[in-house]
Amino acid sequence: MADVTCARCGQTRAGLPYAPFNNDLGKRIQSDICNVCWQEWLKHQTMLINHNGLNVRDAEAKAFLYEQTERFLFGTGEADQVDTSKQGTIQW
């Protein structure tokens, strides 16, 4: 894993060992995003999937997640936030 100067946090850290997607965005993430910020994105992505009830096989859900990935990692807009104010208070 090569070190990268991260486009998100600005620090020089270990990058990703491979492109997370087989497209231009995946290559850009591998070359410009550190592993720490990628792990933060994966946590945020999981919250988005669960909160919005996304089916990741659905083309619209994939498009939404790609857009959110770019916004979160490259600051190309405000990433959708997940309301966590009720976290731990919901009972089934």
Specify the pLDDT at position 90: 46
Specify the pLDDT at position 83: 58
How do the pLDDT tens digits run along the chain, 92 residues long? 789 999 999 999 999 999 999 999 999 999 999 999 999 999 999 999 998 899 999 999 999 999 999 999 998 656 666 655 555 454 54
Specify the pLDDT at position 78: 61
Specify the pLDDT at position 47: 92
Evaluated on CA atoms 20, 25, 30, 32, the torsion sign reads negative
Q: Write down the architecture of domain 3-74 according to CATH.
A: Orthogonal Bundle (1.10)
For residue 57, how many other CB atoms are within 10 A of its CB?
Answer: 7
